[in-house]
Amino acid sequence: MSFAKEVKNELTQMQTEDCCTLACSYGLLLFSRAFSVSEISLLTEHSGVASLYCDAVALLSGYVADLQETPGGYSQVSVRDRQQRINIFEKLGLPVQSPRKQINLANLQNECCFGAFLRGAFLACGTVTDPTKDYHLEFSIPSAGLCEQFIKLFDEFDLSPRTTRRNGVSVVYFKNSTDIEDILAHMGASDTYMEFIGAKVIKDIRNQVNRKCNFENANAKRAVASAGAQRDAILYIQEKRGLDSLPKQLRELAQVRLDNPELSTAALLPLLSESLTKSGLHHRMKKIEQFAEELKNRSENEN
């Protein structure tokens, strides 16, 4: 089962106060496939959403909606009678003649009703991605005017959506995980909210582990490359001049490096007879490499 379906399953089973039932019904109808005096209908693959839509129509019109199954397995709910559609508009305090969808805030009677209205909108046109894969929640809204009003409503609750157009439809979406958490909480999806939080924690831990492993792997590669370069320089000196050509303090370090090619430079410290700091050891190793480089340059010039 998809995460979006889990969320919708939880939302359709909620018990709410009368004010929130009205707000949820309003959001469900307003953001559905069609909502005008000419047509009120919903097309959904979720049977629980279809059932809730039928309840909303009954609440607002006093009549039973027409429910049919499409050949593709979707549920199509519609209000066929024009007078019933007019009754619904009047019940919600919406202008019957206006072709533009509007949000009538009078239907959000209390502060709790924003979450219920959001819940209805999500059930009608929303979806959310599995948080183990990505952070993305969106509402696909056919009306550009309704989209603008919807965004303003989010602004009042310190939520920051982004917008785009996809196939001629306005899409309001969220990529910030904290915003998505807030929306799930506002809608009352407490179980899937906790599931989202858990997935986020696991993902964050995994990312931290991966970053640490990548950092350590990069360090290991640099150490191997550095040790290889040091060994090559020492072998060149040994071949051309012999290690006795090095000053005494460098000769011991060169021999220890040859004897321990797998160790990092810092790991050579305990093997030296003289006590050195990491900085001192690196400084001496640089002198050995410079010595080898000077030998190479001299050899090239002589040739």
Per-residue model confidence (pLDDT) at position 204: 81
Domain boundaries, the chain: 3-188, 204-302
Per-residue model confidence (pLDDT) at position 163: 92
Question: From CA 299, how far away is CA 303, in angstroms rounded?
Answer: 6
**In terms of Cα–Cα distance, which of 67, 57, 65 is closest to 28?**
57
Per-residue model confidence (pLDDT) at position 100: 60
Per-residue model confidence (pLDDT) at position 51: 93
Contact 182, 135 (CB under 8 A): no
User: Which architecture characterizes domain 3-188 according to CATH?
Assistant: Roll (3.10)
Per-residue model confidence (pLDDT) at position 199: 87
Question: From CA 82, how far away is CA 273, in angstroms rounded?
Answer: 98
Paired tokens of 14:
């909620």
User: b vs e for 12-40, b when ≥16 Cβ sit within 10 Å of the residue's Cβ?
Assistant: bebebeeebbbbbbbbbbbbbbebbbeeb
Residue 197's Cα: distance from chain center in Å?
A: 12
Per-residue model confidence (pLDDT) at position 159: 87
pLDDT 10s digit of each residue in the chain, 303 long?
A: 799 999 999 999 988 888 999 999 999 999 998 898 999 999 999 999 999 999 999 999 888 888 998 888 889 999 999 999 999 999 999 888 765 677 888 999 888 899 999 999 999 999 999 999 999 999 999 788 889 889 988 888 888 899 999 888 899 999 999 999 999 999 999 999 999 899 888 888 887 888 888 887 887 788 778 878 888 888 888 888 888 888 888 888 888 888 888 888 788 888 888 888 888 888 888 988 888 888 888 877 776
Paired tokens of 108:
């959000």
Backbone dihedral angles phi then psi of residue 75, each to the nearest 5 degrees: -105, 130
DSSP of 243-268: GGGS-HHHHHHHHHHHH-TTS-SGGG
